Amino acid sequence: MKSKNMDRIVHKNGLVRKELTLLIPFLKEPKREFTLTEIKEIGKNKSHHYVFETLKKAAKLEILQEKRKGNTNIYFLDYQNKQNLQYLIFTESIIKEQKPEIPYNNILSITKEIKNKFYSLLIGGSYAEGKQKKGSDLDITIIIPNSDSKKQYETALREGELMIPEIHGYVFTQEEFYLMLINDEFNYGKELVRKHVIFYGAEQYYAIVFEAMKNGFKG
């Protein structure tokens, strides 16, 4: 969905971009339950009242669920509500905008020949964390439909090996990525959920993550 359309949706519902940034921890650990204090500390937000009111608003809109544990309110992502997808996609676009140091044009260059548009491309590694150095590689992962051949995507990745920074990557089918998420052991797929920037295909990505969450993925 285009950014301008998303802006209209957000403002129509009384939210602003700054408020949506408080959702970022929920996207990185989608099954985790957070306290207000934890969200305040992760977001480095000094205003208790602002975080409190924003989380309450998100709960009212059913983006988050809220429950009481002792004297503490707990918040967690309402992944069963499909209407949330528009908010998550928009929040992911904010994360992308906050990382201007990522060479997006290089990624665009290697993917322009890919014919199928129903894939997801995620940036991981040091660039996703904002810890890249001068010689750091750019790590990307492409998640493709199960019916697709990996060949055209792997060809695109080989072109990236000639660029600066050098692009290294993986190609997984949606089924392969899903199986990594529901596996009991920690693996690259789970790491990517926690540390990623979505360049393309957020809707397809979240369809897999939500299905995995229904079937044992704990984030």
For the segment 2-30, the average pLDDT, to the nearest whole number, is 74
Any alpha helices (H) in the chain, and if so which ranges? Answer: 3-12, 17-20, 24-28, 36-42, 48-60, 85-97, 104-111, 125-129, 151-160, 174-182, 188-194, 202-214
pLDDT tens for 30-87 read 999 999 999 999 999 999 999 999 999 999 999 999 999 999 999 999 999 888 899 9
3-state helix, strand, coil in the chain (%, to 5): 50, 15, 35
pLDDT tens for 116-126 read 999 999 999 99
pLDDT of residue 16: 84
Question: What is 3-82's CATH number?
Answer: 1.10.10.10
Ranges in the chain annotated CATH 1.10.10.10: 3-82
pLDDT at 2 over 60: no
Ranges in the chain annotated CATH 3.30.460.10: 99-214
pLDDT tens for 80-96 read 988 889 999 999 999 99
Q: How far apart are CA 95 and CA 43, in angstroms?
A: 13
pLDDT at 9 over 60: no
121 with 200: CB under 8 angstroms? yes
Residue 196: is it exposed, middle or buried by C-beta count within 10 angstroms (0-12/13-18/19+)? buried
127 with 136: CB under 8 angstroms? yes
**Greater confidence, 212 or 81?**
212
CA distances from 209 to 27, 168, 169, 180, 185 (A): 10, 23, 20, 11, 16
| Radius of gyration of the chain, Cα coordinates, nearest whole angstrom | 18
* CATH fold for domain 99-214: Beta Polymerase; domain 2 (3.30.460)
pLDDT tens for 103-155 read 999 999 999 989 899 999 999 999 999 999 999 999 999 999 999 999 999 99
pTM for the predicted model, two decimal places: 0.91
